[in-house]
Amino acid sequence: MSDQDWLVTNESECRLFTASDTSDWGQNPYRLHRFLTDLEDIIWQEKDDYLRLQQICPLVRRLLNSSEWILTNFLPPDPDTGWSVQVLYDESDFPLTVQTVVWSPKSVSQIHNHAAWGIVALIDGQEKNKFWQRSPTPEYPDRIVQTGEHTIATGDILCLMPEAIHQIEVIGDEPTISFNVYGVTDYAKRFQFDIVEQTAMIF
């Protein structure tokens, strides 16, 4: 296991991430309900997405180390789409999405953003992320250019700023399983990008 934390900035640059200090954690089991309460406190108290991610990232790692049921609470990937989503918590007007996501071997996602801060903690497998940045021209206002790539492995956590653009590719012959948390999505700014046509479509 790698157990490294990474941040993808609004400019789609991937770099090692220094999360908040966790030395004062107690030894008590850390349950999903406590995690959700802590997240809600952070969301209301901290308005800066970067600082939010700094505080939330270690809580995700703590939760996964304490709540083994999450590690096995996922759906097999759909044979048609190549992926599946298992919602772990969903409440009207609660500003969070909490889920596990499974991708089939060799799957490649569309190039997309999330229009929300997000955290992807890889429970199993290897996943290559390619990163893209908007680079508009008069002829192609939705043009994007690749800024880099990085492969995350089991135990790694990838934190995404709202304007980060990425594409996922499953590496190896096994599915990838991840625990994902997202803030409130601005659906008017969530896009799927076509690198050939240099277009973007809301989805």
> What tens-digit pLDDT sequence spans the chain (203 residues)?
578 999 999 999 999 998 766 556 566 789 999 999 999 999 999 999 999 999 999 999 999 999 989 999 999 999 999 999 999 988 878 878 999 999 999 999 999 999 999 999 999 999 999 999 999 999 999 999 999 999 999 999 999 999 999 999 999 999 999 999 999 999 899 999 999 999 999 98
The CATH code for residues 5-20+29-202 is 2.60.120.10
What integer pLDDT is reported at residue 21 of this predicted model?
66
In the DSSP assignment, the letter for residue 75 is P
What integer pLDDT is reported at residue 27 of this predicted model?
61
| Burial tier of 92 (Cβ tally within 10 Å: 0-12, 13-18, 19+) | exposed
Distance of alpha carbon 81 from alpha carbon 101, whole angstroms: 12
What integer pLDDT is reported at residue 1 of this predicted model?
59
- Could you tell me if 101 and 180 are in contact, meaning their C-beta atoms sit under 8 angstroms apart? yes
Q: Is the pTM of this model over 0.85?
A: yes
Distance of alpha carbon 102 from alpha carbon 81, whole angstroms: 11
Tokens read off for 66: 């304490």
* Beta strand residue intervals within the chain, DSSP E: 5-8, 14-16, 83-89, 97-103, 111-113, 118-124, 126-134, 144-153, 157-160, 165-171, 176-182, 191-194, 199-202
What integer pLDDT is reported at residue 91 of this predicted model?
82
Enumerate the domain spans of the chain. Answer: 5-20+29-202
- Centre a 10 Å sphere on the Cβ of residue 42 and count the other Cβ atoms it contains: 17
- In the numeric block, the tokens 């939010």 are attached to 52
In the DSSP assignment, the letter for residue 110 is P
- Could you tell me if 181 and 115 are in contact, meaning their C-beta atoms sit under 8 angstroms apart? no
